[in-house]
Amino acid sequence: MSKIQRIELFNVDIPLKKPFYPSWISGYPQLHNRFTLIRLTTDDGIVGVSAGVSFETERQGLGKLIGPYLMGLDPTDVGKINQRLKEVSYLGWRNSWIEPAFWDIRGKMEGKPVYKLLQEREEEVKEVRVYCSTGEIQPAKKRLESIDKIRELGFKAVKLRVRSATMEEDVDIVREVRKRVGDDFGIMVDANQGWLVTIIDEPPRWDLGRAISYARECERLGVLWLEEPLDMYAYDDLSALREATKTPIAGGELSAGWHELKIMIEKGCFNIYQPDATFAGGISASRKVMEECLRRDLGFSPHTWTNGIGLLINLQVYAAFPRKTYLEYPYESPGWIPASRDAVLESPIVVSPRGTIPVPNTPGLGIAINERALRKYGKKFYTLTPFRLAVQSIRRMGLKTTLELAKKKGVR
Ligand SMILES: [Mg+2]
């Protein structure tokens, strides 16, 4: 049995070339792509990587908490891994972003890409179709300036952001883009009402009435789905909305885990489920949602807007889903572009003229880290090895207690 023998954490901070104004934080000029990167190494030298989006360096003390929980774990024991991450969450930290690193190791151990571990039948997937997920709420006139470029890049569908002061402005954005791109081009709409952030400006809050009116406008404009039109916990309103419109309703990106997503599915909140494996309970929870969507004939298209590593993780999950439509490809030039989104990867993930991205078929998650770029943008703030853990334990509890604990761990 392999064991986790080395745990490393990095703060990664990639400056953006131009400011980016995310629709989900009204009024906030984002100048950096920041995340925490975890690198786990087994006693036989297999490395697993994952990343969790961060605002600053807020996870600076996290290693001291998670280190002893994860050291020595069998990387293939998904049940135990998720149990330990749950135990860490009792102290206030949600850490399902760490869980994909274990899948990365497991894929490498079995010599398979992770999507093949998640499929019932092992079907080769070479590429998936993506939609251009814009990130800024731009008035119709401004959005039309970028829509031609988006089409030139190869995309066959675009997701527009709407959360303007009035509903008329929000309808206008979609109507003008529809006029420009014609009926054959896919349009999705995201109202970003699921998890409001009010740190700078107070964004407009939608109620059920506005969501229904807007969804009916979307029907007329041939919108493929309306995403997060209400608060993520407004389960009853979401299912009422779904009853009131033919526009498919999508959501679930930042749920806390399977326990929440299960309620949404049972209450009939969405037509399309979008759990992000770096937020919503890891790859294990995404897999459960995917299986439930298949069973109930629902859509599944994970959220991927974090960074290049998050995109690759969710790409592996999505590749395992047999009834694919489109996967989210985060892109908003000039602020959020592949060069800064994927700066620590060996090569950026680029869309093909067919509107697809390649699915890595190398073992694991297919995350090839460029070590030079990681040294440039990353700062390692935590390393744990069994020796360091022993030294820390002896300092805190003395040799006798440390030996007793070591014996217990060895027995279990
Ligand atoms: Mg969204």
Q: pLDDT of 287-333, one tens digit each?
A: 999 999 999 999 999 999 999 999 999 999 999 999 999 999 999 99
Residue 404: pLDDT band (50, 70, 90) is very high
pLDDT value of residue 378: 98
- How far apart (Å, rounded) are the C-alpha atoms in residues 69 and 384? 11
Q: Token pair 């990130």 is at which residue?
A: 135
pLDDT value of residue 122: 81
Q: Is 35 left (phi over 0), alpha (psi -120 to 50) or beta?
A: beta
pLDDT value of residue 108: 98
Does 220 share its domain with 261?
Answer: yes
Does 333 share its domain with 388?
Answer: no
Q: Give me the chain's average pLDDT, please.
A: 96
- Ligand 1 centroid to residue 300 C-alpha, Å: 13
- Ligand 1 centroid to residue 359 C-alpha, Å: 22
Q: Which tokens go with 101?
A: 């690193």
Does residue 371 register a pLDDT over 80? Answer: yes
Quote the domain boundaries for residue 208: 121-358
Does 236 share its domain with 349?
Answer: yes
Residue 408: pLDDT band (50, 70, 90) is confident
- Ligand 1 centroid to residue 289 C-alpha, Å: 17
pLDDT value of residue 93: 84
- Ligand 1 centroid to residue 228 C-alpha, Å: 6
Does 401 share its domain with 338?
Answer: no
Domain with residue 167: its CATH number is 3.20.20.120
The answer to whether residues 64 and 42 touch, using CB atoms and an 8 Å cutoff, is: no
- Ligand 1 centroid to residue 283 C-alpha, Å: 18
- Ligand 1 centroid to residue 1 C-alpha, Å: 40
Q: What ranges in 188-327 are assigned the alpha helix state H?
A: 208-220, 235-244, 258-267, 282-296, 308-319
Alpha-carbon distances of 188 from 191, 222, 403, rounded to whole Å? 10, 9, 59
Per-residue pLDDT tens digits for 49-68 = 999 999 999 999 999 999 99
End-to-end CA distance of the chain: 14
User: Of 346, 361, 353, 305, whose CA–CA distance to 328 is shortest?
Assistant: 305
- Ligand 1 centroid to residue 251 C-alpha, Å: 7
The pLDDT of 220-227, averaged and rounded, is: 98
Secondary structure tally for the chain: helices H, strands E: 14, 13
- Cα 241 to chain centroid distance, Å, stands at 25
Please report how many Cα atoms fall inside a 13 Å half-sphere around the Cα of residue 252, on the Cβ side. 33
Domain with residue 111: its CATH number is 3.30.390.10
Per-residue pLDDT tens digits for 156-176 = 999 999 999 999 999 999 999
pLDDT value of residue 4: 97
- Ligand 1 centroid to residue 269 C-alpha, Å: 15
- Ligand 1 centroid to residue 302 C-alpha, Å: 9
Per-residue pLDDT tens digits for 106-150 = 999 999 999 999 998 889 999 999 999 999 999 999 999 999 999
H or E, element range at 408: helix 386-411
- Ligand 1 centroid to residue 391 C-alpha, Å: 45
H or E, element range at 186: strand 186-190
Does 335 share its domain with 389?
Answer: no
Does residue 412 register a pLDDT over 80? Answer: no
Residue 374: pLDDT band (50, 70, 90) is very high
Does 376 share its domain with 245?
Answer: no
Does residue 84 register a pLDDT over 80? Answer: yes
The pLDDT of 189-208, averaged and rounded, is: 96
Does 39 share its domain with 129?
Answer: no
- Ligand 1 centroid to residue 92 C-alpha, Å: 24
Does 104 share its domain with 146?
Answer: no
Domain count, the chain: 2
User: What share of the chain in percent tops pLDDT 90?
Assistant: 96
- Ligand 1 centroid to residue 227 C-alpha, Å: 6
- How far apart (Å, rounded) are the C-alpha atoms in residues 27 and 24? 9
- How far apart (Å, rounded) are the C-alpha atoms in residues 191 and 226? 7
- Ligand 1 centroid to residue 390 C-alpha, Å: 44
- Ligand 1 centroid to residue 353 C-alpha, Å: 25
- Ligand 1 centroid to residue 253 C-alpha, Å: 7
Does 130 share its domain with 223?
Answer: yes
- Ligand 1 centroid to residue 303 C-alpha, Å: 7
Does 33 share its domain with 157?
Answer: no
Q: Are strands 127-133 and 157-161 parallel, antiparallel or unpaired?
A: parallel
List strand residue ranges (DSSP E) for 263-393, in order.
272-273, 299-300, 327-330, 356-358, 378-384
DSSP 21: -
Does residue 410 register a pLDDT over 60? Answer: yes
Does 352 share its domain with 398?
Answer: no
- Ligand 1 centroid to residue 5 C-alpha, Å: 37
H or E, element range at 180: helix 167-181
Buried b (16+ CB within 10 A) or exposed e, 346-385: eeebebeeebbbebbeebbbbbebeeebbeebbeebbebe
